[in-house]
Amino acid sequence: MAPVDQLRQRPTHSGALGRAAAVLCLLSAVLPLRAEEPNEYQVKAAFLMNFTKFVEWPQTTFRDPSQPITICVYGDDPFGAALDQAVEGEIVAGHRLTVEHLHRPPAPRACQVLFISRTERDPAAIVAAAGPGVLTVGDDDRFLRDGGAIAFVVQARHVRFDISLRATAKASLTISSRLLNVARTVVR
């Protein structure tokens, strides 16, 4: 884990409006307009779907151009139908988005996004086994310390996320600066 002085915290005063607008843009393509607010996991499902639009995978990730981008949920599934609904009909860079629900580690290249449930006992081992070309996302504030790439954080009743550049580089992934700019924290 990087020392605290290597964390880059976003200032809360200047640029907050711009970051809020960027987050709304990320979510607007997925969340339907409705009277009630979306719940935490509907928002996280929308983020997972939208992360795929801001990640560049190595060419060896896909066996062929028609292979879908698969978002795998490993362990207990907190999303219900929200994630399946978020990706329904979505195509990113020519790849259809699909969702897989797993209770054992995925085969190599089976997942491009691997969401690891907070109920999993050893997320560090799961992240280490994921290998290159897999964006690992967790639901725990310790997830980046466990080697994960993106960790969801709930702050003041808002879903935010932190990104580890070390983990994304280790996975041979390139994260768009647009996504980095809306992250709460970027760990170098």
Q: Which domains does the chain carry?
A: 8-187 (3.40.50)
Residue 108: the pLDDT is 83
* Mean pLDDT score across all residues of the chain: 86
Residue 1: the pLDDT is 39
Residue 89: the pLDDT is 97
Average pLDDT of span 128-134: 94
Q: From CA 154, how far away is CA 160, in angstroms rounded? A: 6
Whole-prediction pTM value? 0.82
Continuous H helices in 3-70:
16-28, 40-51
Q: Count CB atoms within 10 A of the CB of residue 81.
A: 11
Q: From CA 84, how far away is CA 101, in angstroms rounded? A: 10
In this structure, of 3-7, 128-132, 163-167, the range with the lowest mean pLDDT score is 3-7
